[in-house]
Structure 1
Amino acid sequence: MASFEEVCVSGFEEFSRAVEQYNGKTIFAYFTGSKDDEGKSWCPDCVQAEPVVREGLKHVNEECVFIYCQVGEKPYLKNW
């Protein structure tokens, strides 16, 4: 199994800082609805996609960075 660095961020500003911090590395980014206290995202598509994304990460090399970005709560995004 490949090894990579995972960075968890919340929102656009944290995501932008993480991208700057890992400049020069291959970055894989996953944007998902924020998770509740039980660790479940409000976004059903995100819940379905995450295992597939995690499976794909088994094939990346250790020079890669995976940025896991929670985009916010559903009421916040509905007002955009």
Structure 2
Amino acid sequence: MAGYEEVNVRGYEEFCKAVSERKGKDVFAYFSGDKDAQGKSWCPDCVKAEPVVRGEMTHLPEGSVFIYCQVGERAYWKDPNNDFKKTLRLSGVPTLLRYGTPQKLVEEECLKAELVRMMFTED
């Protein structure tokens, strides 16, 4: 049994709600482009990165939370005023971050298993 909780959300408001309900926990968030009915994201890097990130989730700290967040359709993501860019300062998808810390992996960094593992294991 995994020692972490996984939460799947879509959009900025759902993300904020998921974080606020888990105050005091170690939260890791993975941001990806929305998926279609076949479960494929419009973001090719997200498609490549997801299995890498999922493969390292066994290294998540005990009691931590992993939030998988779909950021919306491509047009929404491209808007420089979307909440993810404005408030969370995301610059690209996929992004993996440790919430409340400066630690973050963006785009091709999410394809490197060793970087993902370091994020999950370092304090």
When normalised by structure 2's length, the TM-score is 0.60
Higher strand proportion (structure 1 or 2): 1
Runs of 4+ in 1 over 3 A off after TM superposition: none
Query: Matches of 2:26 and 2:58 in 1, distance apart?
Result: 15
Partner of 2:67, secondary structure, is: strand
Q: Is the 8 A contact 1:2 1:61 kept in 2?
A: no
Q: Percent identity?
A: 61
Corresponding position of 1:31: 31
Q: Which has the higher contact order (CA 8 A, sep 6+)?
A: 1
Structure 1 portions without partners, runs of 5+: none
Query: Matches of 2:75 and 2:49 in 1, distance apart?
Result: 21
Q: Could you tell which deviates more after superposition, 29-38 or 60-69?
A: 60-69
Partner of 1:50, secondary structure, is: helix
Amino acid in the other structure paired with 1:14: E
When normalised by structure 1's length, the TM-score is 0.90
Q: Return the offset for 1:56.
A: 1.5
| Count of residue pairs brought into register by the alignment | 80
Q: Indicate yes or no: 2:6 matched with 1:13.
A: no
Q: Indicate yes or no: 2:43 matched with 1:43.
A: yes
Q: Return the offset for 1:64.
A: 0.8
